[in-house]
């Protein structure tokens, strides 16, 4: 890309994937732009002087958000709004990443962008507040809602499952929550493709607003776990039984949406993009993971 790209959230899975795919980008972590200290945002933005911004930073500790509500809203709503406002005033395209947790999971079908949000907890509420704040400050912003993000690195469901199995933990995984696993490098590639379309063809009004972007296909957390171990077996990982359980058998401080599948039709129609099937993506993730220490 010729455009100077600024990416926030250097330590996160998506930020890391963007850094690898776009080594020319300015990728900032908390040391330079701390969303828990919003006063750091404007100076870091001015120093970076970006031509396009991707906000991959967020407070993502779903259960902790219930007792750290102010911090969640500061990082997921207040800080993105400041960054969006800076982009709007500078005429810089802004891509902001949101979540399936803005929905309560009761629809019984994949959610479209026009469906009314109904978050179940503080994390989802803070992310929804961020969506609203970003669009209020920068109506031309692109908001990408995604779900179940994982990578070969970092803290995520994939590595948690493998780590627990190595420690001999008996695995019991929820089988009544449905969604679409999303491989961080695939999401990063889609974001960079969107940036390239903007760079090549200029801004188009239809780009603005909310677009859903997840791995193609669907499963449950239990189905995801079983697929992880099926792939791991190809690398000599021992057979690992995973017991399916109901959500009520694994209580957490925050309720999770039972069915947070997202309809990604708009991603294809507006941007001409479709993320790979989640099973194919998982195979690539496992190849990357077993090529390096876990």
- Report pLDDT for 292: 61
Average pLDDT over residues 92-116: 97
Average pLDDT over residues 242-263: 95
In the block, residue with structure tokens 């040391």: 31
Percent of the chain predicted with pLDDT > 70: 98
CB 148 within 8 A of CB 157: yes
Domains and CATH numbers, the chain: 5-154+182-216+261-276 (3.40.50.720)
Question: pLDDT tens digits, residue range 136-175?
Answer: 999 999 999 999 999 999 889 999 999 999 999 999 999 9
Q: How far apart are CA 167 and CA 254, in angstroms?
A: 27
- Report pLDDT for 154: 87
Tokens of 90: 């500078």
CB 216 within 8 A of CB 264: yes
Confidence band (pLDDT; 50, 70, 90) for 294? very low
Mean pLDDT, the chain, integer: 95
Comparing CA positions, the residue from 265, 248, 264, 261 lying closest to residue 107 is 261
Question: pLDDT tens digits, residue range 65-82?
Answer: 999 999 999 999 999 999
Average pLDDT over residues 277-287: 97
Q: What is the pTM of this model?
A: 0.95
Confidence band (pLDDT; 50, 70, 90) for 1? low
Please list the active-site residues: 123
Question: pLDDT tens digits, residue range 53-68?
Answer: 999 999 999 999 999 9
């Amino acid at each position: 890309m010729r455009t100077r790209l600024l990416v926030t959230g250097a330590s996160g899975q998506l930020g890391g994937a963007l850094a690898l795919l776009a080594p020319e980008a300015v990728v900032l972590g908390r040391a330079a732009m701390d969303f828990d200290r919003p006063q750091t945002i404007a100076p870091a933005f001015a120093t970076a002087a970006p031509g396009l911004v991707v906000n991959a930073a967020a407070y993502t500790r779903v259960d902790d958000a219930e007792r750290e509500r102010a911090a969640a809203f500061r990082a997921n709503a207040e800080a993105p709004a400041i960054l969006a406002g800076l982009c709007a005033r500078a005429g810089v395209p802004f891509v902001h990443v949101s979540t399936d947790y803005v929905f309560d999971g009761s629809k019984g079908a994949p959610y479209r962008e026009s469906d009314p949000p109904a978050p179940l907890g503080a994390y989802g509420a803070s992310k929804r507040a961020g969506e609203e704040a970003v669009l209020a400050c920068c109506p031309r912003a692109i908001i990408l809602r995604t779900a179940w993000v994982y990578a070969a690195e970092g803290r995520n469901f994939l590595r948690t499952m493998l780590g627990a199995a190595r420690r001999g933990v008996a695995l019991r995984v929820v089988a009544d929550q449905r969604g679409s696993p999303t491989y961080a490098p695939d999401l990063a590639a889609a974001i960079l493709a969107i940036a390239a379309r903007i760079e090549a063809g200029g801004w188009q009004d239809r780009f603005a607003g909310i677009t859903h972007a997840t791995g193609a296909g669907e499963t449950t957390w239990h189905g995801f776990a079983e697929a992880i171990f099926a792939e791991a077996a190809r690398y000599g990982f021992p057979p690992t039984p995973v017991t399916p359980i109901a959500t009520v058998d694994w209580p957490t401080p925050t309720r999770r949406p039972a069915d947070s599948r997202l309809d990604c039709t708009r991603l294809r129609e507006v941007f001409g993009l479709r993320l790979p099937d989640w099973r194919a993506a998982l195979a690539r993730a496992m190849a990357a993971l077993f090529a390096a220490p876990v």
